[in-house]
C-alpha cells in the first residue's frame, strides 16, 4: 500500500494528483512543501528504464508557474537574469538563471514567449522568493499572476510524442524548446516541448481541476507509466542536468556551473544590452578570465556510488572540490556523479580521488552528459 508522511503543524500541500498517486500505491514523501511520489510499486530502476524505453508520466505540479503580461515583461526579466528575453521569438522558450548581487545563482527557470504574455516556470523551493523578486522588479509596469490553480505534468521518453500527438496532432512536429496552446481531450493546455530527463517529451500546464482526468487518459496508453521523484533524479543526473540546491546555489556563478551559454550575447560586455543584471561585475570577470572551479562529470571506477557531499582530493590527499550529485546510473549500469573541481582538474580524463567512508576511490573526470540527450529538434 502507499504510505503518507505524518502530518504536522505545517502539513505539506497536495497537488491535484495526490489521490491518484495514492490509488497507484506511490510511496509519498514531503518535498519542497508538497506531498510528492518518490516511487511506485515497480521501483525506481524500472521507472527509469521505462522512461528511457517508452514514456514516463511525472507530476511536477509543485513547480511555480507565473504569467507576466505587459510591454516591459522581457526587459523586466532581463533585469533579474543574464538571459536574452527581449529577442525570444513567440512560441519559443529559453532556459536561464536568476543571479544575486555576488553573481551567484538564486534559481534556474524557463521562460516561454506566448505572445500576449511570458510564461515562467521556477523551482518549487524557490518560488516564493522568485515571485517576490519578479514583483519587486516589474509590478509597476506588468501584470504578474501566480498560476496556483494549475497543475504541471511531464510526459517524457521516446514514445511521448506519439502518445501526445494522438490527442493533439499539432504537437507532432514541435521542436525542442518551443511551446503552443492546444486542447487535449477538450482541455485547454499550455504545452511545451521540454523536460528534465534528457529524453524527447513535453511539459503540460493544465487547469488543476482537469489534471487527474488528463493524467488518467495518458496512463491508459500502454506506453505510459507513472514515474516518481527517484527516477526523475537518476534520469536528470545521467543527462547531466543540474539540480538547484545541489549543483547550483547562491554561491555558484553561471560560469562556474558551465552555464555560460545561458548568458545572452546581447547581455555580455560589448553587447547591445550589456549588463543590467545582478552580479554582472563578477560574471563578466569570470567570462573574461575564467573561473577557479568548474562543474564536471565524474565516473567513479568500480561499482560503489559516490554521493553528494563527498570530498574530492588529488593524489596527495589535498582537497580540490566536492561532489554535488551522485548515484547509480541505471542506463549505464554504473555509478555517476557531478561536482566541482579546481580549474586545473576539469579536463576530461583527469583522475581524482573521491573520499567515501574514509577511503579514496579513483574517479575519472568526464564530459557531460553521461547519456546522450535525445531532444527532437525538427
CATH number at residue 332: 2.40.30.110
Give the domain-ending residue among 206, 238, 270: 238
Q: Dihedral sign, CA of 328, 334, 335, 337?
A: negative
Residue 6 pLDDT > 80: no
Residue 3 pLDDT > 50: no
pLDDT band at 287 (very low <50, low <70, confident <90, very high): very high
Say what the pTM is.
Answer: 0.96
Residue 284, in any domain of the structure = no
Tens of pLDDT along 237-260? 999 999 999 999 999 999 999 999
pLDDT for 10 equals 77
Query: What's the whole-number mean pLDDT along residues 370-376?
Result: 98
Nearest residue to 79 (alpha-carbon basis) of 110, 63, 46, 101:
101
Total domains in the fold of the chain: 2
194: its cell numbers: 521540454
Tens of pLDDT along 22-54? 999 999 999 999 999 999 999 999 999 999 999
Owner of C-alpha cell 567515501? 356
Percent of the chain surpassing pLDDT 90: 97
3-state secondary structure of 61: coil
Give the domain-ending residue among 238, 254, 280: 238
Q: Which comes out higher in pLDDT, residue 1 or 250? A: 250
Residue 223, in any domain of the structure = yes
Q: What separation, in Å, do the N-terminal and C-terminal C-alpha atoms of the chain show?
A: 43
Q: Dihedral sign, CA of 239, 91, 171, 187?
A: positive
Q: How long, in residues, is the chain?
A: 378
CA distances (Å), 326 to each of 44, 48, 241, 333, in order?
15, 16, 12, 14
314: its cell numbers: 588529488
Residue 38, in any domain of the structure = yes
Query: What's the whole-number mean pLDDT along residues 178-190?
Result: 97
Percent of the chain surpassing pLDDT 70: 98
Tens of pLDDT along 69-113? 999 999 999 999 999 999 999 999 999 999 999 999 999 999 999
Residue 195 pLDDT > 70: yes
299: its cell numbers: 565516473
Residue 1 pLDDT > 60: no
Residue 183, in any domain of the structure = yes
Residue-averaged pLDDT of the chain = 96
Query: What's the whole-number mean pLDDT along residues 253-274?
Result: 98
Q: Is the peptide bond before 231 cis (omega within 30 degrees of 0)?
A: no
Residue 246, in any domain of the structure = no
pLDDT for 315 equals 93
Residue 8 pLDDT > 70: no
CA distances (Å), 364 to each of 137, 257, 299, 311, 354, in order?
44, 18, 5, 14, 10
Residue 2 pLDDT > 90: no
- 227 shares a domain with 155: yes
- 296 shares a domain with 214: no
Instruction: Report the alpha-carbon angle 110-113-117, nearest 5.
Output: 110
3-state secondary structure of 201: strand
Question: What interhelical angle do 229-238 and 44-53 show, nearest 10?
Answer: 60
Nearest residue to 242 (alpha-carbon basis) of 173, 340, 166, 149:
340
Contact 74, 81 (CB under 8 A): no
pLDDT band at 5 (very low <50, low <70, confident <90, very high): very low
Amino acid at each position: 500500500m502507499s504510505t503518507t508522511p505524518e502530518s504536522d503543524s505545517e502539513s505539506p500541500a497536495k497537488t491535484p494528483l495526490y489521490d491518484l498517486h495514492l490509488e497507484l500505491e506511490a510511496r509519498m514523501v514531503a518535498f519542497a512543501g508538497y506531498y510528492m511520489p518518490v516511487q511506485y510499486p515497480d521501483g525506481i530502476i524500472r521507472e527509469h528504464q521505462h522512461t528511457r524505453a517508452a514514456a514516463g508520466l511525472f507530476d511536477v505540479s509543485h513547480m511555480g508557474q507565473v504569467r507576466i503580461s505587459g510591454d516591459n515583461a522581457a526587459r523586466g526579466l532581463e533585469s533579474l537574469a543574464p538571459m536574452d528575453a527581449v529577442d525570444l521569438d513567440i512560441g519559443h522558450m529559453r532556459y536561464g538563471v536568476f543571479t544575486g548581487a555576488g553573481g551567484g545563482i538564486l534559481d534556474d527557470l524557463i521562460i516561454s514567449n506566448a505572445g500576449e504574455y511570458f510564461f515562467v516556470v521556477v523551482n518549487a523551493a524557490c518560488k516564493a522568493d522568485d515571485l517576490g523578486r519578479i514583483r519587486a522588479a516589474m509590478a509597476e509596469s506588468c501584470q504578474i499572476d501566480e498560476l496556483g490553480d494549475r497543475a504541471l505534468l511531464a510526459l517524457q521518453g521516446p514514445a511521448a510524442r506519439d502518445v501526445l500527438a494522438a490527442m493533439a496532432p499539432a504537437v507532432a512536429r514541435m521542436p525542442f524548446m518551443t511551446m503552443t496552446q492546444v486542447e487535449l481531450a477538450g482541455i485547454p493546455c499550455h504545452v511545451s516541448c521540454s523536460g528534465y530527463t534528457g529524453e524527447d517529451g513535453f511539459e503540460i500546464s493544465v487547469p488543476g481541476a482537469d489534471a487527474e482526468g488528463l493524467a488518467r487518459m495518458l496512463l491508459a496508453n500502454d506506453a505510459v507509466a507513472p514515474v516518481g521523484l527517484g527516477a526523475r533524479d537518476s534520469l536528470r543526473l545521467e543527462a547531466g542536468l543540474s539540480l538547484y540546491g545541489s549543483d547550483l546555489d547562491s554561491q555558484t556563478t553561471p560560469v562556474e556551473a558551465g552555464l555560460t551559454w545561458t548568458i545572452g550575447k546581447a547581455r555580455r560586455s560589448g553587447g547591445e544590452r550589456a549588463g543590467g543584471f545582478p552580479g554582472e561585475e563578477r560574471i563578466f570577470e569570470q567570462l573574461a578570465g575564467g573561473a577557479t572551479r568548474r562543474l564536471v562529470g565524474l565516473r567513479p571506477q568500480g561499482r560503489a556510488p559516490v554521493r553528494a557531499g563527498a570530498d574530492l582530493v588529488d593524489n596527495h590527499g589535498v582537497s580540490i572540490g566536492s561532489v554535488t550529485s551522485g548515484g547509480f546510473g541505471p542506463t549505464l549500469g554504473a555509478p555517476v556523479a557531478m561536482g566541482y573541481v579546481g580549474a586545473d582538474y576539469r579536463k576530461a580524463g583527469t583522475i581524482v580521488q573521491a573520499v567515501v567512508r574514509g577511503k579514496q576511490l579513483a574517479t575519472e573526470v568526464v564530459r557531460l552528459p553521461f547519456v546522450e540527450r535525445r531532444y527532437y529538434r525538427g
